Amino acid sequence: MRRAFLALSTLLIVSAQAFAAPPPAPECGGAGSRDDTEQLGHFDVIELRRYPIASGQRPTFAKYYDDWFPAAFEQLGVLVFGEFFERGQYNFTWIRGFHTIEDHAIAQAQFYYGPIWREHKSLANSLLPGVDDNVLQLHALNPQTEVPAMPAVDPVKEPRGAQGIVVAEIYAVRKGDIQPFSERALKEFSRYQVAGVRAAGVLVTLDAPNNFPQLPVKTDGPYLVALHILRDESVLEDTFDPLLARTKQELTASGMLQRAPEILVLDTEHNSRLRWLPACE
């Protein structure tokens, strides 16, 4: 699997430069410096998790989640990249990363069989009426498209919490076409290099078994996911949406998709690391 990933990364490295609007740097703002976030390390496994929440309970779930779980995950080496309220669906959507596939199994077992989850799981699960089967297990397409580990929200300097909007483009690719589709997608994504939009990663399905099957992941891929951070609503409506329409049209015309793309518009939850930092303009 690693050899295949390296081969794909090498082939796509040139194309990636077209997408390479630099990820938000820690110096742009928030708590911490580049050294603070670089010591968090590299994350080979990224999960995009979408939780349907009981009607009217999403703010309540988010409050419980924030107070109880991210710090516990991070003590196990798991980074919560971002937390969001998904528009159009009553979902709490979040992104987390594991250093390696081996760490994925170890950290999951430590958390879900550990004291924090055992104490709170009954209440948390009571707010999650849906089946947790809408999870993508991913990894960065290549080193230039990794999800940035941005600094934690500063409770003093950022009293309003995380700002901005994150958009996720999700493409279900025909089996056998992920390599040519990825090359084409990177070229199309270069049109997003405009003011008010920041690249935040291009990910593809991780070609590895789910080694913690107690939490299922989608197996109907492969998928390609592109993440973007937008400054505000005006950028979304006036700048990004027209560019997105063109991108979807071009990539759908490739004939390499299983179905129409899915677009998630994600409002940043108060403590989301993935967010718009004004000094990044």
User: Does domain 2-280 fall into CATH 3.20.20.370?
Assistant: no
57-63 mean pLDDT: 96
What pLDDT band is residue 41 in, cutting at 50, 70 and 90? confident
pLDDT digits (tens, 9 = 90+) for 135-148: 999 999 999 999 99
What pLDDT band is residue 131 in, cutting at 50, 70 and 90? low
pLDDT digits (tens, 9 = 90+) for 220-253: 999 999 999 999 999 999 999 999 999 999 999 9
CA 109 to chain centre: 22
Listed in sequence order, the DSSP H helices in the chain are: 2-19, 34-38, 58-68, 70-75, 101-112, 115-126, 178-189, 233-234, 241-252
List the domain boundaries for the chain.
2-280
The pTM assigned to this predicted structure is: 0.89
